[in-house]
Amino acid sequence: MHWNYKCVIMACGLVLVARAFALPGVRSMSALTGRPVDVFPASSAHRQEALGPAWTAIAVPDTYSKRKAHGCCWDSVNDKIYMYGGDTLRDCLCYDPTANSWDTVAPMSIARVWIKGICCRGDIYAISGMNNSGWQSSVEEYNPTTNIWRFRANIPTPEIVYEAVVYHDSIILVLGGSPDGVSTDSEVQIFNPATDTWVSGTSMSTGIDMSDACIIGDTIYIPGGVNRSLGYYYGVMWTGAINPTNPTQITWGRETEEIAGGPRFLGPCVALNGEVYYFGGFKSDLGPATDSGYVFNPATGTYDTLPVYPTPVGTCCLATARDSADEIYGLGGTLGDSLDTYAGYYRLSLATAVEEGKSPAVWRMLPVPTVVRGVLCLPAASSSKPQTSGCLLDISGRKVLDLKPGANDVSRLAPGVYFVKGPEVEDGRRMAVRKVVLTK
Protein backbone atom coordinates (compact mmCIF):
# COMPACT_ATOMS: atom_id res chain seq x y z
CA MET A 1 0.00 0.00 0.00
CA HIS A 2 1.27 3.43 -0.93
CA TRP A 3 1.28 6.04 1.85
CA ASN A 4 1.25 9.71 0.97
CA TYR A 5 2.44 11.79 3.95
CA LYS A 6 1.56 15.44 4.08
CA CYS A 7 2.07 17.97 6.87
CA VAL A 8 -0.94 20.18 7.35
CA ILE A 9 -1.13 23.26 9.56
CA MET A 10 -4.63 23.10 11.03
CA ALA A 11 -6.80 26.09 11.87
CA CYS A 12 -5.86 25.75 15.55
CA GLY A 13 -2.19 26.20 14.76
CA LEU A 14 -1.27 22.53 15.26
CA VAL A 15 0.74 20.34 12.89
CA LEU A 16 -1.02 17.24 11.66
CA VAL A 17 0.42 14.44 9.55
CA ALA A 18 -2.10 13.20 6.99
CA ARG A 19 -2.03 9.84 5.25
CA ALA A 20 -4.04 9.04 2.15
CA PHE A 21 -6.23 6.05 2.93
CA ALA A 22 -9.74 5.55 1.59
CA LEU A 23 -12.62 4.37 3.79
CA PRO A 24 -16.37 4.74 3.30
CA GLY A 25 -17.40 8.17 4.59
CA VAL A 26 -13.77 9.07 5.30
CA ARG A 27 -11.39 11.19 3.26
CA SER A 28 -7.70 11.58 3.84
CA MET A 29 -6.56 15.15 4.37
CA SER A 30 -4.27 15.06 1.35
CA ALA A 31 -7.28 14.10 -0.76
CA LEU A 32 -9.10 17.25 0.31
CA THR A 33 -6.79 19.91 -1.04
CA GLY A 34 -9.03 22.46 -2.65
CA ARG A 35 -12.71 22.71 -1.79
CA PRO A 36 -14.92 19.66 -2.36
CA VAL A 37 -18.23 20.10 -4.15
CA ASP A 38 -21.26 20.33 -1.87
CA VAL A 39 -23.79 17.52 -1.81
CA PHE A 40 -26.34 20.25 -2.53
CA PRO A 41 -24.61 22.36 -5.23
CA ALA A 42 -26.34 25.69 -5.64
CA SER A 43 -25.52 29.34 -5.43
CA SER A 44 -26.04 31.09 -2.11
CA ALA A 45 -28.76 33.23 -3.65
CA HIS A 46 -30.65 30.18 -4.94
CA ARG A 47 -30.44 28.33 -1.63
CA GLN A 48 -31.56 31.40 0.30
CA GLU A 49 -34.61 31.93 -1.87
CA ALA A 50 -35.63 28.31 -1.51
CA LEU A 51 -35.33 28.25 2.28
CA GLY A 52 -36.90 31.57 3.12
CA PRO A 53 -35.91 33.48 6.29
CA ALA A 54 -32.21 34.09 6.65
CA TRP A 55 -29.90 34.48 9.61
CA THR A 56 -30.34 37.93 11.14
CA ALA A 57 -27.73 40.00 12.94
CA ILE A 58 -27.98 40.47 16.69
CA ALA A 59 -26.21 42.90 19.03
CA VAL A 60 -22.43 42.66 19.11
CA PRO A 61 -20.64 42.68 22.50
CA ASP A 62 -18.85 45.90 23.41
CA THR A 63 -15.78 44.00 24.61
CA TYR A 64 -13.85 41.12 23.04
CA SER A 65 -16.37 40.63 20.25
CA LYS A 66 -13.65 39.19 18.01
CA ARG A 67 -12.97 35.75 19.38
CA LYS A 68 -12.51 32.16 18.32
CA ALA A 69 -12.43 28.69 19.91
CA HIS A 70 -14.64 29.83 22.78
CA GLY A 71 -17.52 28.27 24.64
CA CYS A 72 -21.17 29.31 24.37
CA CYS A 73 -24.33 27.80 25.78
CA TRP A 74 -27.96 28.57 26.63
CA ASP A 75 -29.12 28.66 30.24
CA SER A 76 -32.73 27.48 29.99
CA VAL A 77 -33.55 28.37 33.60
CA ASN A 78 -32.79 32.08 33.19
CA ASP A 79 -33.18 32.22 29.40
CA LYS A 80 -29.70 33.69 28.91
CA ILE A 81 -26.83 32.79 26.57
CA TYR A 82 -23.28 32.73 27.90
CA MET A 83 -20.08 33.14 25.90
CA TYR A 84 -16.69 32.70 27.57
CA GLY A 85 -13.03 32.00 26.94
CA GLY A 86 -11.49 31.68 23.51
CA ASP A 87 -8.37 33.49 22.30
CA THR A 88 -6.89 32.72 25.77
CA LEU A 89 -9.43 35.01 27.44
CA ARG A 90 -10.85 34.77 30.97
CA ASP A 91 -13.91 36.92 30.38
CA CYS A 92 -17.52 35.75 30.37
CA LEU A 93 -20.36 37.60 28.65
CA CYS A 94 -24.11 37.13 29.08
CA TYR A 95 -26.60 37.75 26.26
CA ASP A 96 -30.27 38.51 26.91
CA PRO A 97 -32.23 37.32 23.82
CA THR A 98 -35.32 39.31 24.82
CA ALA A 99 -33.48 42.63 25.25
CA ASN A 100 -30.90 41.86 22.53
CA SER A 101 -28.12 43.09 24.80
CA TRP A 102 -24.86 41.87 26.33
CA ASP A 103 -23.58 42.19 29.90
CA THR A 104 -20.17 41.36 31.34
CA VAL A 105 -20.27 38.96 34.29
CA ALA A 106 -17.55 37.53 36.52
CA PRO A 107 -14.54 36.18 34.57
CA MET A 108 -13.13 32.68 34.86
CA SER A 109 -10.11 32.22 37.11
CA ILE A 110 -8.09 30.73 34.26
CA ALA A 111 -7.99 31.77 30.60
CA ARG A 112 -8.74 28.89 28.26
CA VAL A 113 -9.24 28.30 24.55
CA TRP A 114 -10.58 25.39 22.42
CA ILE A 115 -13.36 24.59 24.88
CA LYS A 116 -17.02 23.64 24.60
CA GLY A 117 -19.80 25.67 26.21
CA ILE A 118 -21.75 23.58 28.72
CA CYS A 119 -24.80 24.29 30.89
CA CYS A 120 -25.89 21.62 33.38
CA ARG A 121 -28.31 21.90 36.32
CA GLY A 122 -28.46 25.68 35.77
CA ASP A 123 -24.68 26.17 36.09
CA ILE A 124 -22.11 26.97 33.39
CA TYR A 125 -18.96 24.86 32.97
CA ALA A 126 -15.52 25.54 31.52
CA ILE A 127 -13.65 22.26 31.18
CA SER A 128 -9.97 21.81 30.33
CA GLY A 129 -8.75 23.60 27.16
CA MET A 130 -5.40 25.33 26.94
CA ASN A 131 -3.72 28.71 27.36
CA ASN A 132 -0.22 30.12 27.14
CA SER A 133 0.80 27.82 30.00
CA GLY A 134 -0.27 24.69 28.11
CA TRP A 135 -3.07 22.18 28.54
CA GLN A 136 -5.35 22.81 31.53
CA SER A 137 -6.78 20.03 33.69
CA SER A 138 -8.91 22.39 35.78
CA VAL A 139 -12.69 22.63 35.65
CA GLU A 140 -14.61 25.78 36.59
CA GLU A 141 -18.30 26.12 37.40
CA TYR A 142 -20.23 29.40 37.19
CA ASN A 143 -23.36 30.07 39.23
CA PRO A 144 -25.51 32.70 37.45
CA THR A 145 -27.35 33.53 40.69
CA THR A 146 -24.24 34.34 42.75
CA ASN A 147 -22.11 35.48 39.79
CA ILE A 148 -19.23 33.36 41.12
CA TRP A 149 -16.93 30.83 39.46
CA ARG A 150 -15.54 27.98 41.54
CA PHE A 151 -13.19 25.10 40.80
CA ARG A 152 -14.46 21.54 40.60
CA ALA A 153 -12.59 18.23 40.31
CA ASN A 154 -9.90 18.23 37.61
CA ILE A 155 -10.55 16.28 34.44
CA PRO A 156 -8.40 13.10 34.41
CA THR A 157 -7.08 13.67 30.87
CA PRO A 158 -6.86 17.32 29.74
CA GLU A 159 -8.17 17.83 26.20
CA ILE A 160 -8.63 20.54 23.60
CA VAL A 161 -11.13 20.72 20.70
CA TYR A 162 -13.15 17.96 22.35
CA GLU A 163 -16.85 17.28 21.94
CA ALA A 164 -19.23 17.35 24.92
CA VAL A 165 -22.90 16.78 25.73
CA VAL A 166 -25.12 16.98 28.81
CA TYR A 167 -27.21 13.90 29.55
CA HIS A 168 -30.63 14.48 31.16
CA ASP A 169 -29.36 17.65 32.79
CA SER A 170 -27.40 15.53 35.28
CA ILE A 171 -23.98 14.50 33.92
CA ILE A 172 -21.49 15.92 31.43
CA LEU A 173 -19.79 13.67 28.87
CA VAL A 174 -16.49 14.89 27.41
CA LEU A 175 -15.80 13.02 24.18
CA GLY A 176 -12.45 12.63 22.46
CA GLY A 177 -10.31 15.68 21.83
CA SER A 178 -6.55 16.02 21.60
CA PRO A 179 -4.38 15.53 24.71
CA ASP A 180 -1.19 16.82 23.08
CA GLY A 181 -1.98 18.56 19.78
CA VAL A 182 -0.60 15.62 17.79
CA SER A 183 -2.85 12.66 18.59
CA THR A 184 -6.63 12.25 18.91
CA ASP A 185 -8.39 10.56 21.82
CA SER A 186 -11.30 8.14 21.73
CA GLU A 187 -11.68 8.43 25.50
CA VAL A 188 -15.02 9.31 27.12
CA GLN A 189 -14.78 11.15 30.44
CA ILE A 190 -17.97 11.66 32.47
CA PHE A 191 -18.39 14.33 35.15
CA ASN A 192 -21.12 14.25 37.79
CA PRO A 193 -21.61 17.78 39.20
CA ALA A 194 -23.66 16.45 42.12
CA THR A 195 -20.78 14.32 43.43
CA ASP A 196 -17.89 16.29 41.90
CA THR A 197 -16.41 13.10 40.46
CA TRP A 198 -15.17 11.80 37.12
CA VAL A 199 -15.62 8.29 35.73
CA SER A 200 -14.81 6.69 32.38
CA GLY A 201 -17.40 5.76 29.79
CA THR A 202 -17.22 3.40 26.84
CA SER A 203 -14.58 4.73 24.47
CA MET A 204 -15.63 5.86 21.01
CA SER A 205 -14.99 3.47 18.14
CA THR A 206 -12.35 5.87 16.82
CA GLY A 207 -10.63 9.01 18.01
CA ILE A 208 -12.53 12.20 17.11
CA ASP A 209 -11.69 15.84 17.69
CA MET A 210 -12.23 19.21 15.99
CA SER A 211 -15.96 18.53 15.73
CA ASP A 212 -18.97 19.26 17.91
CA ALA A 213 -21.63 17.04 19.46
CA CYS A 214 -25.26 17.20 20.48
CA ILE A 215 -27.68 14.81 22.14
CA ILE A 216 -31.28 13.84 21.43
CA GLY A 217 -32.89 11.63 24.05
CA ASP A 218 -30.37 8.89 24.80
CA THR A 219 -28.35 9.27 21.58
CA ILE A 220 -25.24 11.37 20.93
CA TYR A 221 -24.59 12.76 17.43
CA ILE A 222 -21.22 13.93 16.09
CA PRO A 223 -21.06 15.18 12.47
CA GLY A 224 -17.62 14.72 10.91
CA GLY A 225 -14.45 15.57 12.78
CA VAL A 226 -10.77 14.75 12.52
CA ASN A 227 -8.48 11.95 13.66
CA ARG A 228 -4.94 13.39 13.90
CA SER A 229 -3.46 10.01 14.76
CA LEU A 230 -4.70 8.47 11.50
CA GLY A 231 -4.75 11.62 9.38
CA TYR A 232 -8.43 11.47 8.45
CA TYR A 233 -11.24 13.92 7.87
CA TYR A 234 -14.50 12.18 8.68
CA GLY A 235 -17.65 12.65 6.62
CA VAL A 236 -20.04 10.52 8.66
CA MET A 237 -22.57 11.10 11.42
CA TRP A 238 -21.20 9.29 14.47
CA THR A 239 -23.75 8.04 17.02
CA GLY A 240 -23.53 6.92 20.63
CA ALA A 241 -26.50 5.19 22.27
CA ILE A 242 -26.39 5.71 26.05
CA ASN A 243 -27.72 3.00 28.36
CA PRO A 244 -30.24 4.89 30.56
CA THR A 245 -29.72 2.49 33.46
CA ASN A 246 -25.93 2.90 33.32
CA PRO A 247 -24.86 6.01 31.36
CA THR A 248 -21.20 4.92 31.38
CA GLN A 249 -22.20 2.24 28.87
CA ILE A 250 -22.41 3.67 25.36
CA THR A 251 -22.89 1.77 22.12
CA TRP A 252 -21.00 3.63 19.40
CA GLY A 253 -21.91 3.48 15.72
CA ARG A 254 -22.49 5.63 12.67
CA GLU A 255 -25.14 6.43 10.11
CA THR A 256 -24.62 4.55 6.86
CA GLU A 257 -24.73 7.55 4.54
CA GLU A 258 -22.11 10.30 4.30
CA ILE A 259 -23.24 13.53 5.95
CA ALA A 260 -24.65 16.24 3.71
CA GLY A 261 -21.90 18.60 2.64
CA GLY A 262 -19.20 15.94 2.98
CA PRO A 263 -16.31 15.79 5.47
CA ARG A 264 -16.07 18.76 7.80
CA PHE A 265 -14.28 19.87 10.94
CA LEU A 266 -14.15 22.86 13.31
CA GLY A 267 -17.81 23.64 12.77
CA PRO A 268 -20.66 23.73 15.34
CA CYS A 269 -23.74 21.56 15.72
CA VAL A 270 -26.81 21.78 17.95
CA ALA A 271 -29.91 19.70 18.62
CA LEU A 272 -33.35 21.25 18.37
CA ASN A 273 -36.78 19.61 18.28
CA GLY A 274 -35.37 16.15 17.71
CA GLU A 275 -33.08 17.10 14.81
CA VAL A 276 -29.36 17.81 14.39
CA TYR A 277 -28.29 21.15 12.90
CA TYR A 278 -24.74 21.84 11.77
CA PHE A 279 -23.15 24.58 9.69
CA GLY A 280 -19.84 26.20 8.82
CA GLY A 281 -16.51 24.54 9.48
CA PHE A 282 -13.72 23.61 7.11
CA LYS A 283 -13.68 21.11 4.26
CA SER A 284 -10.05 21.16 3.21
CA ASP A 285 -6.55 21.35 4.64
CA LEU A 286 -6.28 25.10 5.12
CA GLY A 287 -9.79 26.31 4.39
CA PRO A 288 -11.59 28.32 3.39
CA ALA A 289 -14.46 27.82 5.81
CA THR A 290 -17.92 27.15 4.40
CA ASP A 291 -21.19 29.03 4.84
CA SER A 292 -23.40 26.00 4.18
CA GLY A 293 -25.51 24.26 6.81
CA TYR A 294 -27.69 21.18 7.05
CA VAL A 295 -30.30 19.54 9.25
CA PHE A 296 -30.36 15.79 9.93
CA ASN A 297 -33.55 13.99 10.94
CA PRO A 298 -32.61 10.83 12.89
CA ALA A 299 -36.14 9.44 12.55
CA THR A 300 -35.94 9.33 8.75
CA GLY A 301 -32.16 9.36 8.24
CA THR A 302 -32.53 12.25 5.80
CA TYR A 303 -30.88 15.65 5.36
CA ASP A 304 -32.11 19.05 4.28
CA THR A 305 -30.35 22.36 3.74
CA LEU A 306 -30.35 25.32 6.12
CA PRO A 307 -30.27 28.98 5.11
CA VAL A 308 -26.66 29.82 4.32
CA TYR A 309 -24.71 31.57 7.06
CA PRO A 310 -23.99 35.28 6.36
CA THR A 311 -20.28 34.54 6.01
CA PRO A 312 -18.07 31.46 5.95
CA VAL A 313 -17.39 30.58 9.58
CA GLY A 314 -15.27 28.11 11.53
CA THR A 315 -13.28 27.40 14.69
CA CYS A 316 -15.46 24.92 16.48
CA CYS A 317 -18.28 25.15 19.03
CA LEU A 318 -19.53 28.69 18.35
CA ALA A 319 -23.26 27.97 18.27
CA THR A 320 -26.04 27.24 20.74
CA ALA A 321 -29.75 26.52 20.49
CA ARG A 322 -32.43 28.38 22.41
CA ASP A 323 -35.05 25.69 22.62
CA SER A 324 -37.85 27.81 24.07
CA ALA A 325 -37.94 30.01 20.96
CA ASP A 326 -36.82 27.54 18.27
CA GLU A 327 -33.71 29.64 17.62
CA ILE A 328 -30.08 28.90 16.80
CA TYR A 329 -27.33 31.41 17.55
CA GLY A 330 -23.94 31.71 15.87
CA LEU A 331 -21.53 33.74 17.99
CA GLY A 332 -18.19 34.89 16.59
CA GLY A 333 -15.62 32.56 15.07
CA THR A 334 -13.36 33.19 12.11
CA LEU A 335 -13.94 33.42 8.38
CA GLY A 336 -11.41 30.69 7.81
CA ASP A 337 -9.07 32.22 5.26
CA SER A 338 -7.26 33.98 8.10
CA LEU A 339 -7.39 33.47 11.84
CA ASP A 340 -7.48 37.27 12.19
CA THR A 341 -10.70 37.80 10.22
CA TYR A 342 -13.73 37.36 12.45
CA ALA A 343 -17.33 36.49 11.80
CA GLY A 344 -20.29 38.30 13.34
CA TYR A 345 -23.21 37.45 15.63
CA TYR A 346 -26.40 36.01 14.18
CA ARG A 347 -29.69 34.30 14.98
CA LEU A 348 -31.78 31.89 12.91
CA SER A 349 -35.46 31.61 13.85
CA LEU A 350 -36.79 28.24 12.78
CA ALA A 351 -40.26 29.10 14.07
CA THR A 352 -40.45 32.00 11.61
CA ALA A 353 -39.43 29.73 8.77
CA VAL A 354 -42.22 27.28 9.58
CA GLU A 355 -44.88 29.94 10.03
CA GLU A 356 -44.08 31.30 6.58
CA GLY A 357 -44.16 27.78 5.13
CA LYS A 358 -40.67 27.97 3.63
CA SER A 359 -38.82 25.23 5.50
CA PRO A 360 -40.93 22.05 5.53
CA ALA A 361 -38.15 19.99 7.16
CA VAL A 362 -38.49 21.94 10.42
CA TRP A 363 -41.67 22.03 12.49
CA ARG A 364 -42.40 24.44 15.29
CA MET A 365 -43.20 23.17 18.76
CA LEU A 366 -45.72 25.34 20.60
CA PRO A 367 -43.97 27.39 23.33
CA VAL A 368 -43.47 25.36 26.51
CA PRO A 369 -42.09 26.69 29.82
CA THR A 370 -38.77 25.12 30.82
CA VAL A 371 -39.29 25.12 34.60
CA VAL A 372 -42.71 24.13 35.96
CA ARG A 373 -44.17 24.19 39.47
CA GLY A 374 -47.50 22.42 39.90
CA VAL A 375 -49.23 23.39 36.65
CA LEU A 376 -47.96 22.97 33.09
CA CYS A 377 -49.71 25.42 30.79
CA LEU A 378 -49.77 24.72 27.07
CA PRO A 379 -51.07 27.17 24.47
CA ALA A 380 -53.72 26.18 22.00
CA ALA A 381 -52.78 25.56 18.40
CA SER A 382 -53.32 28.43 15.99
CA SER A 383 -55.25 26.19 13.62
CA SER A 384 -59.03 25.98 13.73
CA LYS A 385 -58.81 22.20 13.28
CA PRO A 386 -59.12 19.92 16.32
CA GLN A 387 -55.78 19.54 18.09
CA THR A 388 -54.37 16.09 18.84
CA SER A 389 -53.38 15.85 22.51
CA GLY A 390 -49.72 15.66 23.45
CA CYS A 391 -48.24 13.78 26.38
CA LEU A 392 -45.60 14.03 29.09
CA LEU A 393 -42.76 11.49 29.12
CA ASP A 394 -40.33 10.67 31.92
CA ILE A 395 -36.58 10.35 31.31
CA SER A 396 -36.97 6.71 30.23
CA GLY A 397 -39.46 7.71 27.52
CA ARG A 398 -42.49 6.29 29.37
CA LYS A 399 -45.73 8.26 29.09
CA VAL A 400 -46.83 9.52 32.50
CA LEU A 401 -49.58 11.98 31.58
CA ASP A 402 -51.78 12.96 28.66
CA LEU A 403 -51.67 16.70 27.99
CA LYS A 404 -54.24 19.13 26.64
CA PRO A 405 -54.17 22.81 25.66
CA GLY A 406 -54.39 25.02 28.74
CA ALA A 407 -53.60 24.07 32.35
CA ASN A 408 -52.33 20.57 33.16
CA ASP A 409 -51.96 19.52 36.82
CA VAL A 410 -48.50 17.99 37.32
CA SER A 411 -48.28 18.56 41.08
CA ARG A 412 -48.51 14.83 41.84
CA LEU A 413 -45.48 13.95 39.72
CA ALA A 414 -42.03 13.61 41.25
CA PRO A 415 -39.63 16.50 40.62
CA GLY A 416 -37.18 15.93 37.80
CA VAL A 417 -36.63 16.12 34.06
CA TYR A 418 -39.54 15.29 31.77
CA PHE A 419 -40.29 15.70 28.07
CA VAL A 420 -43.36 17.24 26.48
CA LYS A 421 -44.23 15.40 23.29
CA GLY A 422 -46.14 17.91 21.25
CA PRO A 423 -49.34 17.52 19.27
CA GLU A 424 -49.18 15.88 15.89
CA VAL A 425 -48.71 18.22 12.96
CA GLU A 426 -51.92 18.53 10.96
CA ASP A 427 -50.65 16.58 7.96
CA GLY A 428 -49.55 13.70 10.20
CA ARG A 429 -45.83 14.36 10.20
CA ARG A 430 -43.56 13.79 13.18
CA MET A 431 -44.13 15.22 16.66
CA ALA A 432 -41.74 17.66 18.33
CA VAL A 433 -40.30 17.04 21.79
CA ARG A 434 -39.38 19.65 24.41
CA LYS A 435 -37.67 19.18 27.80
CA VAL A 436 -39.19 20.56 31.00
CA VAL A 437 -38.06 20.46 34.63
CA LEU A 438 -40.74 19.86 37.27
CA THR A 439 -40.06 21.34 40.71
CA LYS A 440 -41.99 21.59 43.95
Q: What is the pLDDT of residues 330-362, one digit of tens each?
A: 999 888 655 666 778 999 987 654 444 443 333
Computed on alpha carbons and rounded to an integer, the radius of gyration of the chain in Å comes to 21
Global pTM reads 0.75
CA distance 331 to 354: 23
In terms of pLDDT, which residue wins out, 358 or 22?
A: 358
What is the pLDDT averaged over residues 45-72?
A: 74
Residue 64 pLDDT level (bands cut at 50, 70, 90)? confident
Q: Which of 297, 267, 289 is nearest to 363 (CA)?
A: 297
| Distances in whole angstroms, Cα of residue 189 to Cα of each of 82, 107, 184, 252, 371 | 23, 25, 14, 15, 29
Task: Look at residue 433 in the predicted model and tell me its pLDDT.
Answer: 60
With 50 as the cut, is the pLDDT of residue 125 above it? yes
| Digit-coded pLDDT (tens) for 418-439 | 887 765 444 443 445 667 788 8
User: Mean pLDDT over residues 106-134, rounded?
Assistant: 96
pLDDT confidence bin for 284, thresholds 50/70/90? low
Residue partners of 242: CB distance under 8 A and separation at least 6:
167, 218, 219, 220, 249, 250
Nearest Cα neighbor of 217 from 21, 360, 395, 403 is 395
State how far the Cα of 226 lies from the Cα of 266, in Å rounded to an integer.
9
pLDDT for residue 180 is more than 70: yes
As a residue count, the chain comes to 440
What pLDDT sits at residue 107?
Answer: 98
Please give the pLDDT value at position 360.
32
Domain annotation for the chain: domains and CATH numbers? 44-355 (2.120.10.80), 371-439 (2.60.40)
pLDDT of residue 379: 61
The helix (run of H) or strand (run of E) holding residue 352 is helix 350-355
Per the model's pLDDT, the better-predicted residue between 131 and 14 turns out to be: 131
Nearest to 403 by CA among 384, 423, 385: 423
Q: What is the mean pLDDT of the chain?
A: 80
Query: Who wins on pLDDT, 306 or 373?
Result: 306
